[in-house]
Amino acid sequence: MTYRETPDIIVSRLPVYLRALSHMQAQGKQTTSSQELGDQVGISAAQIRKDLSQFGEFGKQGTGYNIAFLIGKLREILKVDRVWDVAVVGMGDMGHAIVRYQGFADRGFRVSMVFDSERSKIGAKVGGFVVQDTREMVSAVRKAGIMVAMLCVPAAVAQEVANQLVEAGVRAILNYAPINLSVPKGVRVQYLDPSVGLQRMTYYLK
């Protein structure tokens, strides 16, 4: 089966389904329906059925979805049935928070290297990691075969650091810097910009 043609908008909803299903499972539930899942994530049951049908037949008419099975399938589709090593660049407040964040491990990710360019930070320990010099980043990331990075550097240097990460073989960048990055084809960027999230909502405020 090839997933190539699946629209990105559908792909973007799968991690949200996975998160909600994992939450149900943690609460001891074994089966769910597209209706119940839809209520949890604020998406219509019809949309959920349509999204999932892109990838196969996961539910049974009348009995709904087996949660453990669907979680397994979604993890496989999203390629988080393995653990990805992640490089974190920029050890300011946000970088610190990310390195200490406990929520990655069971969702497919593990911080494995941290970098900063400030002399006062290099060599220090953050959350069990020794902060490495960004000047060693390209070779260290390439050598480790790391394909995923989180960018927590100031906006002014984000593009330059992103270029280096791409040069090192990184293909997925989660960008916390409030700036759009230019990357070559085949490299993905996702943005976590709190102001953008807030502005999407103030539009609707009276």
Q: Which residues make beta-bridge pairs with 130?
A: 125
* CA–CA gap between residue 38 and residue 45 (Å, rounded): 5
CA distances from 130 to 25, 81, 87, 92, 122 (A): 36, 28, 12, 14, 8
197 binds a copy of itself (CB under 8 A): yes
Between 30 and 182, CB nearer to a copy of itself = 182
Binding track, positions 3-42, relative to a copy of itself; x by CB under 8 A: x-------xx-xxx-xxx--x---------------xxxx
Query: How many residues of this chain interact with a copy of itself, rule: CB under 8 A?
Result: 62
How many other β-carbons are positioned within 10 Å of the β-carbon of residue 183? 18
190 binds a copy of itself (CB under 8 A): yes
Closest CA to 82 of 109, 57, 62, 102: 109
148 binds a copy of itself (CB under 8 A): yes
93 binds a copy of itself (CB under 8 A): yes
Segment 55 to 74, residues that bind a copy of itself, using CB under 8 A: none
Between 60 and 124, CB nearer to a copy of itself = 124
How many other β-carbons are positioned within 10 Å of the β-carbon of residue 97? 12
**Taking contact as CB under 8 A, which single stretch among the options 28-36, 115-123, 135-143, 172-180 is the one that binds a copy of itself?**
172-180
1 binds a copy of itself (CB under 8 A): no
CA 89: distance to chain centroid?
15
* CA–CA gap between residue 54 and residue 182 (Å, rounded): 30
Residue carrying structure tokens 């953008």: 196
84 binds a copy of itself (CB under 8 A): yes
Between 135 and 198, CB nearer to a copy of itself = 198
DSSP characters over 138-171: HHHHHHHT--EEEE-S-HHHHHHHHHHHHHTT--
Between 83 and 140, CB nearer to a copy of itself = 83
144 binds a copy of itself (CB under 8 A): no
Contacting residues toward a copy of itself, per CB under 8 A: 3, 11-12, 14-16, 18-20, 23, 39-42, 77-80, 84, 86, 92-94, 96-98, 100-101, 103-104, 107-109, 147-148, 150, 155, 171-174, 178-180, 182, 188, 190-205
